[in-house]
Chains A and B, each alone.
Chain A
Amino acid sequence: MTRIRFHQSLDDLKERLLVMAGLAEQGIQRATEAYRVHDLSICDLVSRSEIAINRLEREIDQAALDLLAMEQPMAGDLRFILSVIKINTDLELVGDAADAISERVRGMDQMAAAELPVDIPRMASMAAEMVRKSLQSFIDADAELARSVLTMDDAVDDMNRAAYKALTRVMEEQSHLAPQALNALMIAHALERVGDHATNIAEDVIFWVQAADVRHMKSLKKAGLLP
């Protein structure tokens, strides 16, 4: 009853997701590089990758759906496919975030340069590190590494809150810099979302590897719905 073809299909699904993961991760790196060096040609590369990511998202969902329908997977295989479907969505949204950052960088090109009290490269580096680690945990089926990603999300959230505070003050006190501040605020928000997607990916890896649902633990405990 060994299912060689099915297990090859699972390997193939993982390979395809990793190709998409590489594109999404590269998208964030390129978008933040475009911000740092104000190079619009890099923004064009991000947009091109986004199309490839969207195509892969559809292909991976279809392949996963086919396996669910045809192979009736169980246990670890079932959890793996469910995780792939969810990680697929998060990676596509990471690609969207990279594209959104690129759009902001394009917008900045029309504006005067401004010194703003926000360290976007540091925030981008942290968010990209979360994506990298969450994907490494997926490659290695390493739930402990995935758990380490969850603890990083608070730091990115804190950076986003600090950016919001500092940039809204700029808008209030230096209204001529409001467009630049708003742009930076949107980039910070996109990076915060990237951190959230990396967290989701890490949670999905933990579900796949350990069959443990670790989502929303803090809020559910706070509401008394979990011990």
Chain B
Amino acid sequence: MGVGIEVIDLNAWYGANHTLQDINLKIPANQVTALIGPSGCGKSTFVRCINRMHETNPIARVTGTVRIGDLDIYEDAKPVEIRRRVGMVFQRPNPFPTMSIYDNVAAGLKLNGYSNRRVLDSVVERSLQNSALWDEVKDDLKKKSGASLSGGQQQRLCIARALAVDPEVLLMDEPASALDPVSTSKIEDLIFQLKSQYTIVIVTHNMQQAARVAEKTGFFLNGRMVEFDSTDKIFTNPSDKRTEDYITGRFG
């Protein structure tokens, strides 16, 4: 099951650049939360702070509190443990190109020390089922490489890989921006199905996509979160004029 995420006074820097400023919000469990905003507004940095990826850059720095369920991720846990609990899917599908489909999905489990073949088989099948890819690849699991799949299939393979380690939270940074409309629809359908098991945070430039998939939406601008509310409120009657101006295309 997914867990809620609480962010308190989060600030982030790249060198001297203060990229996130005083972010406070509560992301509800088992819902989809969309983050929107113009390029460079800080939304991707924000999701990278939720799984402690931001700090992997040597000039990056973070202050503040992020709680995933009861876990304070900057106080109580190591980055590796956080990344097991928080899966991430990126803009461009990034399967391991030389590995088979099976090994791509099992990679995270093997890194965590699992080697029992029956356990691995079961998790690979379940993950591919949950990412709606199983029927398309079940006959080629070990014959074909991840790179042999179409772009949309590769993205679902990456989702399966993220799901295999049984995370509580799934972060998606523009997961469909490189995909055609049919593949995009499949990813959106998948997001809808997955939210009953995971808390999902999606960064997107496609506002119609945010409106379609998310219960909550946050609008970021210049490193600050301008507005966070139910998606229907944001897209029909936002409280802040800057949100209105952005979503109606009056700037950006």
Chain A residues within 8 Å of B, Cβ to Cβ? 1-3, 6-7, 72-79, 211
Contact call B247/A6, Cβ cutoff below 8 A? no
What's the minimum C-beta distance from B105 to chain A, rounded to whole angstroms? 36
Tell me, yes or no, whether B244 is within 8 Å of chain A by CB: yes
CA distance A181 to B250 in the complex (A): 56
CA distance A115 to B34 in the complex (A): 69
Tell me, yes or no, whether B235 is within 8 Å of chain A by CB: yes
* CB contact between B247 and one of A74, A79, A211 (< 8 Å): that residue: A74
Contact call B235/A74, Cβ cutoff below 8 A? yes
Contact call B207/A74, Cβ cutoff below 8 A? yes
Contact call A6/B237, Cβ cutoff below 8 A? no
What's the minimum C-beta distance from A72 to chain B, rounded to whole angstroms? 5
Residues of B within 8 A of A73 (CB): 248
Residues of B within 8 A of A3 (CB): 248-250
Contact call A75/B251, Cβ cutoff below 8 A? no
* CB contact between A2 and one of B211, B247, B250 (< 8 Å): that residue: B250
What's the minimum C-beta distance from B156 to chain A, rounded to whole angstroms? 26
* CB contact between A6 and one of B211, B243, B249 (< 8 Å): that residue: B249
Across the A-B interface, the 10 shortest Cβ-Cβ residue pairs: A3-B249, A211-B237, A1-B252, A74-B247, A77-B248, A75-B244, A74-B235, A72-B208, A75-B248, A75-B247
Residues of A within 8 A of B238 (CB): 75
Contact call B237/A75, Cβ cutoff below 8 A? yes
Tell me, yes or no, whether B236 is within 8 Å of chain A by CB: yes
Q: A1-B38, A75-B235, A79-B236 are in contact. List 15 more A-B contacts (CB 8 A).
A: A2-B249, A2-B251, A2-B252, A3-B248, A6-B249, A7-B249, A74-B211, A75-B238, A75-B244, A75-B247, A75-B248, A78-B235, A79-B237, A211-B236, A211-B237
Residues of A within 8 A of B208 (CB): 72
> What is the size, in residues, of chain B's interface with A at 8 Å between Cβ atoms?
16
**8 Å CB contacts to A: which residues of B226-252?**
235-238, 243-244, 247-252
Residues of B within 8 A of A211 (CB): 236-237
CA distance A7 to B250 in the complex (A): 9
CA distance A2 to B207 in the complex (A): 14
User: Can you show 20 pairs from A to B with CB atoms below 8 A apart?
Assistant: A1-B249, A1-B252, A2-B249, A2-B252, A3-B248, A3-B249, A3-B250, A6-B249, A7-B250, A72-B208, A74-B247, A75-B235, A75-B238, A75-B244, A78-B235, A78-B236, A79-B236, A79-B237, A211-B236, A211-B237
What's the minimum C-beta distance from B231 to chain A, rounded to whole angstroms? 11
Residues of B within 8 A of A7 (CB): 249-250
**8 Å CB contacts to A: which residues of B201-235?**
207-208, 211, 235
Contact call B236/A75, Cβ cutoff below 8 A? yes
What's the minimum C-beta distance from B208 to chain A, rounded to whole angstroms? 5
What's the minimum C-beta distance from A183 to chain B, rounded to whole angstroms? 46
What's the minimum C-beta distance from A7 to chain B, rounded to whole angstroms? 8
What's the minimum C-beta distance from A197 to chain B, rounded to whole angstroms? 25
CA distance A3 to B235 in the complex (A): 17
* CB contact between A76 and one of B207, B211, B244, B251 (< 8 Å): that residue: B244
Q: Which chain A residue has the least Cβ–Cβ distance from B244?
A: A75
CA distance A6 to B247 in the complex (A): 13
Residues of A within 8 A of B247 (CB): 74-75
CA distance A211 to B232 in the complex (A): 12
CA distance A211 to B235 in the complex (A): 12
What's the minimum C-beta distance from B242 to chain A, rounded to whole angstroms? 12
Which one of B208, B243, B249 has the highest number of Cβ atoms from chain A below 10 Å of its Cβ? B249
